[in-house]
């Protein structure tokens, strides 16, 4: 599965990409995460990218494309990839097309996350990331609680940090840049027949479910019934399971019809089965 998650900052692409990667084993490739890692390591790329990131602008296309080209050459992407935050403008989308054509790995789908602007601002201001495991939380809408409050890397509570660019001024610029540069990608992918839009508001689990349905991963019975497409599946699946369990015994009987041993074994089995069928009433009596 080779997919692109498209959406404004704060639309939940990162959270859903993480979940999708866990569920499918396909790597999440987040250009934002790769750039932040480069900044933290102080590499040449990081130094060049930092100013644009701090101001909420897009990092130079050549830098991002070089980074993506390298990442897509890694062996784990043979099984597919989930692009999160890339492409972000038409130049990047065209370059991705060319690169994937070279690799003979065309995209399967582009999922667009639809969220209201007011909701985006609320989400970004509450967003926190664990410094150890990189899990994303929202202290306003989905704080880490219960077992989820423990970091799987350290075994201690998550060390939540706020991203440097999640401040009011930068957020406004990032949203403006999204409208100007990234939104045109919706029409770009629509014209290629790849676009699938989902409502990305509401509970995180509900969005995960919608994303799964959009990608044809695990249609819920209710969703399938609504569409009518998978309505035939449940009746076919349900009788198939018990039939499979019964089949070996039935086949065994069929395979050995001639020898006299079979009736003898069957008789033994029947005899052996006798007490077993009598046990449950005894247990029931005992409980009373
Ligand atoms: P968000 O989607 O919330 O803005 P990201 O983590 O995807 O967060 O990106 C953070 C910043 O990294 C962006 O504001 C931008 O400066 C830079 N960036 C990420 N991806 C790209 C990209 N594909 N092209 C250019 N800049 C990018």
Residues 1-31: pLDDT tens digits?
Answer: 999 999 999 999 998 999 999 999 999 999 9
Q: Structural domain boundaries of the chain?
A: 2-219
Q: What is the pLDDT of residue 222?
A: 53
Torsions phi, psi for 145 (to 5 deg)? -130, 165
Please give the Cα distance from 64 to 88 (Å, whole number): 10
Active-site choice (88, 123, 128, 196): 88
- Is 59 near ligand 1, meaning CB less than 6 Å away? yes
- Is 174 near ligand 1, meaning CB less than 6 Å away? yes
pLDDT tens per residue across span 216-258? 986 545 544 444 443 333 333 333 333 333 333 333 333 444 4
pLDDT > 70? residue 276: no
Q: What is the pLDDT of residue 228?
A: 47
Report CA(58)–ligand 1 centroid distance (Å). 6
Residue among 33, 35, 183 to mutate when testing ligand 1 (max atoms within 8 A of CB): 35
The residue contributing the CA closest to ligand 1 atom 5 is 32
- Helix 168-177 × helix 117-126 angle, to 10°: 140
Which ligand 1 atom minimizes the distance to the CA of 84?
Answer: 7
**Annotation says 57 is catalytic:** no
CATH top-level class for 2-219? alpha beta
- Is 207 near ligand 1, meaning CB less than 6 Å away? no
Higher-pLDDT residue of 247, 156: 156
- Is 144 near ligand 1, meaning CB less than 6 Å away? no
């Amino acid at each position: 599965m080779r997919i692109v998650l498209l959406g404004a900052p704060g639309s939940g692409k990162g959270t859903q990409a993480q979940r999708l990667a866990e569920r499918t084993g396909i790597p999440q490739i987040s250009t934002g995460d790769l750039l932040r890692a480069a900044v933290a390591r102080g590499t040449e790329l990081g130094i060049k990218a930092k100013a644009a990131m701090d101001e909420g602008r897009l990092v130079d296309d050549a830098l991002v494309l070089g980074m993506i080209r390298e990442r897509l050459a890694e062996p784990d992407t043979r099984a597919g990839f989930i692009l999160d935050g890339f492409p972000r403008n038409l130049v990047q989308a065209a370059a991705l097309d060319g690169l994937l054509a070279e690799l003979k790995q065309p995209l399967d789908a582009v999922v667009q996350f639809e969220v209201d602007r007011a909701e985006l601002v609320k989400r970004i201001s509450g967003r926190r990331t664990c410094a150890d495991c990189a899990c994303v939380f929202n202290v306003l809408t989905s704080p880490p609680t219960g077992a989820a409050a423990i970091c799987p890397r350290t075994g201690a509570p998550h060390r939540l940090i706020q991203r440097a660019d999640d401040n009011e001024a930068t957020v406004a610029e990032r949203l403006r840049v999204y409208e100007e540069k990234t939104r045109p990608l919706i029409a770009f992918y629509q014209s290629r027949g790849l676009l699938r839009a989902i409502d990305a508001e509401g509970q995180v689990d509900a969005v995960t479910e919608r994303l799964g349905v959009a990608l044809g991963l695990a249609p819920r019975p209710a969703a399938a019934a609504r569409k009518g497409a998978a309505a035939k599946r449940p009746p076919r699946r349900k009788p198939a399971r018990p039939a499979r369990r019964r089949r070996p015994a039935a086949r065994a009987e069929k395979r050995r019809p001639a020898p006299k041993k079979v009736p003898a074994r069957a008789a033994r089995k029947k005899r052996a089965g006798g007490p077993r069928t009598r046990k449950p009433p005894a247990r029931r009596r005992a409980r009373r």
